Structure 1
Amino acid sequence: MEEIGRYFAVYLAGATGIWKGIPVGIAMGLTPFFTATFTSLGAVSSALLVYFSGEPFRKWLMDKYGSNSIAHKQEKFNNWLQKYGVAGLGLMVTGLLGPFISLMIGMLLLKDTRKFLLFLLLGILIWSFGITYLSTPIIGLVKGMM
């Protein structure tokens, strides 16, 4: 039962972001595979929850940030989007800023969010497994030095 609690804790931490789930999994002594898996499952499920809340969430964002400030930022964003595309937003920004911020940017500024969602979920998986498998040996090396 204690083992299930550790997996659930990593899942919940991953639901708040991949940069939170991975350290929790490593601190709890889970293998890199299970850490990355439950972190990505948590991030994917929370991203899908926010995505399928859909229009009410989008209206809330528009009310909070206003359409004038978004229109100004959309001009800057379009230049970046022309260079990297929807795939770049979904794959790169997911790891750099986190899934929630990427999803909010995509929902506010993109018209077709289905393709973006696919790249966002793929980005979550790639970043979760990549960061976990890169950080585990580094942490082991640092522990060995101390």
Structure 2
Amino acid sequence: MIATKGAEMYKHILIATDGSELAAKGLAHGGQLAKHVGAKVTIVTVTEPWSALEMATLAHSGHSDIIQDFEKAAREQATRILDAAVKALEGTGVEVGTVHIADSHPAEGILRAAKEKGCDLIVMASHGRRGIRRLVLGSQTTEVVAHSEIPVLVIR
């Protein structure tokens, strides 16, 4: 149970999402917490830098503007993820903003967004979309927990 001083505890909650089903649970939980304590929310999604292997594969298959194509696809994916996240929190009465951190490793982007936006809590899923890592606390979540200067609420 959240103490009655909860509204004083959290004023700006950062909710990280990658668009996955588990991240949606984190979004819902973070949105309800924000509503309960009267906090505003910033939703963040992070797109990773392109890899040389991906670029080589695309170049080999005939793409000519591979970096521009990758960046455009990343922006479009981030927009879809953030739009869906905002829609999920519609009707809650919570003030919601979004941020897309491009060309960053997820944990670094999440921590940077929290700092830049002045957040006092990070809410994120216990793991993301990454294969075998889904079986344990995700490596990006572990990194955020280890390096965050503010509390991190991990949703399983």
- TM-score band by shorter chain is 0.3 to 0.5
Task: Specify which structure has the higher proportion of helix.
Answer: 1
Of Structure 1 and Structure 2, which has the larger fraction of its residues in strand?
A: 2
TM-score (normalised: structure 1):
0.34
What TM-score comes out, normalization by structure 2 length? 0.32
Higher RCO by CA contacts (8 Å cutoff, separation 6 or greater): 2
